[in-house]
Amino acid sequence: MIEVSTSTLCKRHDPNAFTATVPEPVAETVSLVGQDRSREAIQLSASIRHDLFNLFVTGPAGSGRHAEVLGILREHAADRPVPVDWVYVNNFDDPQKPRALELPAGKAIMLRDCMQKLVDDLANDIPALFESDEYQSQRRLIEEEVEQSQETAMAEFADRAQSENIALLRTPMGFMLTAIREGKPLKTEDYGRLPEQEQAEVDEKIARFQEQLAEVMREAPKLERQGRNRIEQLNADMAERAVSARIEEVATELRGIESVASYLTDAQADIIANAELFLKSGKDRNDGPFPEAIRKYHQDPEFGRYAINVMVSHAENGDLGAPVEMEDLPTLDRLTGRIEHVSHMGSLMTNFTMIKPGALHRANGGYLILDARRVLVEPFAWDALKRCLKNRRITITSLAERISLASTITLEPDPIPLSVRVVLVGDRVLHALLVMFDPDFAELFKVQADFEESVDRNGESSAGMSGLLASQAARENLRPLNAAGMARLLDEAVRIAEDSRKYSLRVEALTDLMCEADHYASQRSADVIDAADIAAAVDAQDRRASRIRDRMHEAITRGTILIDTSGEKVGQVNGLSVIGLGDYVFGRPSRITARVRMGAGKLIDIEREVELGGPLHSKGVMILSGYLAATFALDVPFSLHASLVFEQSYGGVDGDSASSTELYALLSALSGLPIDQGVAVTGSVNQAGEVQAIGGVNQKIEGFFDICAAKGLSGKQGVIIPKTNIDHLMLRPRVVEAVAAGMFRILAVETVEEGIEALTGVPAGKRGPDGAFEAGSVYARVEERLRDFAEQRRKFGRNKQVNSEEGTR
């Protein structure tokens, strides 16, 4: 057993080790300290060209994972080529299956603008062309030729009929044939006076010319059809002239792209075939540079067929390198894109211009950062992401379609080839679950970057941490920290790490502390953040979160919760525990009592019996039971019946940090030696009697100290901790000052023997050559009591057997 020195209780930083004031300007981004392993993994995933080497980043929240990943990916993205552009265009053969076109970087916007200008110009050129004198004269010529052909055929027929004295008359009911006598049509009464032979001749001629007239009349629609065909061909020729001229004006660099050239050919043919659309639009044009009826496809959907739907574009002089995208809400639609609909006449309508890109489209050719938990909780998002990564293409599927809720007509756009490196950020438990339960995960995410929670405390890491924190202050636009302020902030980094030999890498918590300290510095009109500002921020954070702790301490000081800080009691020890409320953890003492009697070797853990004890606590009780059985009265049956309980504990108890405390209570109850109630204990124990390290040692010590201080420090109070926890000490100044003044003690032990000696003031005792413990020692008393229990049990068993035999007689 040793008494921990004051210098060991809180190993503070020397302000003289830092510059007087942090120099300015400070780099806005500094790599995290102690994350070399994670950085190498990120570098590998970012640079390797093989597919499916996607990255899963794990580690504690607030460690700066997102910022570090983002910084490294941006460095690599700057050296990678700018990805190609992608657009969707109309499939003129099958509008339900839009075509995806790949274009060089920066050309998508150019193509869209060119097509807008093309349609805009044609909306003016085609109506003007069809109103021109050239077109009108050619059309009139065709119409006149058709009309002339019809008249010529009719005139030739009339001449043939007249040569045989048959006249062609036009009546309101149509054409009629009649005989001619003396240059005049033959009347009905005159026809009746003709001889029968002449009547027969007239009838024969009229019947014959009726057939010829019918044939002439049948030829008229053919002539009109031929005329219409000629006019349609004229319209096509005129439209082709206008469209071809405008197509030729499209930039050569666009027409040189194979996919664009193919599309322009199809668009040209469709515009020529539907030139009447432009004639209709020309009747009601507005004054804008691009007619609104054409621009707004939902007002006139026919013109939307020539639009260019830009899915992703990289301006030639804009973004340099590959994209780095972050999606905060990774739903199915926001990952893979969506197809929107509009209501029209009671129906939901859509077309290729209503296809919207997702995060995979924007990140294609680069990097995409996602929060793993958010992806997994969104319906079908995880499945869609895996499918796209495995197939290496982006297929747009709506959520309504996946769950069969929508019966409207939708689109089947061409899938877009996918080349992206996905980075998932999550916790270690989530990573382990995915490895175990998702067979696709290991195939798709081959690299893991596991961020450290702490880094060794040395000169190099101290310089690195100070540079990192100074960088964070500059990025948050805070005042710089002077040397004392930096030293005090690094003290808190050690405190958060719960290890005097390490720094915590929870950069977010330290940044929050600096932000609050900057506020206090501003209140005193200071130019820098000093140690006092950091201390004020620490105290303020503690005060805001300490309401429950203060109420518990109040209950103890008022005697509502029974905790003794002076005097001696048999079978009673003050144990130390921690309570966590979110990020806030505080210590509180608990009274642990033990009661013993003769029995059959049963140790009752009351917490476990009432299902308030967790499995780790039950394990600790079983371990101390094994220690007792293997250490004392080895030559007689273990005849102890004991009970252990956390007094006034109404919630769950878990962890084995109280197992040594419970063992001390049992040893006191068995030996009959009282324990000093001014000393509290923490530490777990193994079956060999060695006291093992526990967590939350600083909070446990401070919790008991605050109770002792409230009740009055006597100089005899203190705490017993495992010796292996000495390196974890980073106590608050109030405790260190009390220890320095001799008003409080902190003892460190390695074994149960050292602990029981400190608590009782009596030697634990060792076995001599005769196998017996030293007379008067704690262990000698314990063994003697256990032997007495065994003897009582033996006598009780023999008496019971005698009484049973007498009853049988």
Is residue 524 packed enough to be buried (19+ CB in 10 Å), middle (13-18) or exposed (0-12)?
exposed
Which pair of tokens denotes residue 62? 């607030």
Which pair of tokens denotes residue 698? 């600083």
Q: What is the 3-state secondary structure (H, E, C) of 173-238?
A: CEEEEEEEECCEECCHHHHHHCCHHHHHHHHHHHHHHHHHHHHHHHHHHHHHHHHHHHHHHHHHHH
Paired with 603 in beta bridges are 642
Residues 6+ apart with CB under 8 A from 563: 556, 574, 589, 590, 591, 707
Q: What's the CA angle centered on 642, arms 721 and 560, to 5 degrees?
A: 60
Paired with 422 in beta bridges are 368
Which pair of tokens denotes residue 790? 């065994």
Active site residues per annotation: 657, 700
**Span between the terminal Cα atoms of the chain, in Å:** 62
DSSP string, 471-497: HHHHHTTPPPBBHHHHHHHHHHHHHHH
Residues 6+ apart with CB under 8 A from 589: 556, 563, 574, 575, 576, 577, 680, 703, 704, 707
Paired with 349 in beta bridges are 342
Element containing residue 297 per DSSP (H, E): none
How far apart CA 232 and CA 246 sit, in angstroms, is: 21
Is residue 610 packed enough to be buried (19+ CB in 10 Å), middle (13-18) or exposed (0-12)?
exposed
Cis previous bond, 25, omega within 30: yes
Q: What's the CA angle centered on 281, arms 279 and 282, to 5 degrees?
A: 65
Task: Measure Cα distances from 13 to 7, 465, 504 in Å.
Answer: 12, 13, 15
Dihedral sign for Cα atoms in the order 248, 249, 254, 259:
negative
Count the alpha carbons within 13 Å of 363 in the hemisphere toward its beta carbon.
26
Which pair of tokens denotes residue 365? 């050719």
How far apart CA 53 and CA 44 sit, in angstroms, is: 9
Q: What's the CA angle centered on 685, arms 752 and 765, to 5 degrees?
A: 20
Contact in structure between 474 and 82 (CB atoms under 8 Å): no
